[in-house]
Amino acid sequence: MILALDAGNTNICAGCIEGGEVRLTARIATDRRKTEDEYAGVLEAVLRMNGVGPDSLDGSIICSVVPPVNRCLSLAVEMITGRTPLFVKPGLKTGLALRVDNPEGLGSDRIADAVAASALYGGTVIVVDMGTMTTLSVVNGKKEFLGGAICPGIRLSQQALAAGTSQLPAIGLDPPERAIGRNTVECMKSGAIFGTAAMVDGLIAGIRRELAEKGEPAPRVVMTGGISRFIAPYCRETVTVDPDLLLKGLWLLYQKNVRRKEAGR
């Protein structure tokens, strides 16, 4: 079993994965002020609460888009497992050809998503990852990462509305009753949920057209990330929701890099 961490701008998703199966997941807040001891304490408490002791962990892998927390997370994981974690970074074996202008600038989360989508779904896949940011990543049947799109996430947009205006409140993500809101909160919910779904549908449609022009087959769409369950029901596009896609990608990356290296010794 390995410990996999996906460090995002808002939350750190921790997962324990065994044989490619995600056994448990937990979310803790991303806090740049936390020390390695604090992160270790929180992570170990989460593991023990779910019946996982440090001795049952064979290794670990970290995917992070928040560089300021990388050192503390690395030290925290090493304190728990006794081993230095593997980081998703340039130079790692992915099994993908990165057909983008600057491969080294590609987010490690998008790499993990693409690795999992390619291995688990095959063919041409559009991955929609909905967290602090909404990202769309495209990988084809030749295992080529073709690029995608990046947009503000729904919560980030809501925070901007509340912070940048005088009369708009913070709202939750409970579904709106109608597209035509009858008060401020209903209007904001409509814009947040229906608007985000429409944006995703529009981007997917645009990507489909461009792929068709290049002779690529019709893509499958896989949606993941903490916000996906709120948006998927309102998308007109047919989507497969896989909440643990990124963690599965981290498992595959660990196997490609650490296990293969150990086998070669």
153 assigned to a ligand binding site: no
129 assigned to a ligand binding site: yes
Known catalytic membership, residue 55? no
> 109, 113, 242, 244: which is the annotated catalytic residue?
109
154 assigned to a ligand binding site: no
With vertex at residue 99, the alpha carbon angle to CA 125 and CA 156, rounded to the nearest 5 degrees, is: 65
Residues β-bridged to residue 15: 4, 25
Alpha carbon separation from 177 to 67, 159, 174, 221 (Å, rounded): 40, 22, 9, 26
108 assigned to a ligand binding site: yes
Q: What is the maximum alpha-carbon separation in the chain?
A: 67
224 assigned to a ligand binding site: no
10 assigned to a ligand binding site: yes
As a whole number of angstroms, the distance between CA 121 and CA 123 comes to 7
140 assigned to a ligand binding site: no
- The interaxial angle of helices 70-81 and 36-49, nearest 10 deg, is 50
9 assigned to a ligand binding site: yes
Give 82: exposed, middle or buried? Use CB within 10 Å, 0-12, 13-18, 19+: exposed
7 assigned to a ligand binding site: yes
122 assigned to a ligand binding site: no
Q: HSE (CB half, 13 Å, CA atoms) of 102?
A: 4
132 assigned to a ligand binding site: yes
51 assigned to a ligand binding site: no
Q: Which tokens is 233 given?
A: 């029901």
Q: Do the Cβ atoms of 133 and 152 come closer than 8 Å? A: yes
Residues in the annotated binding site for K(+): 129
Residues in the annotated binding site for substrate: 107-110, 184
Residues in the annotated binding site: 6-13, 107-110, 129, 132, 184
Residues in the annotated binding site for ATP: 6-13, 132
Q: Which residues are catalytically annotated?
A: 109
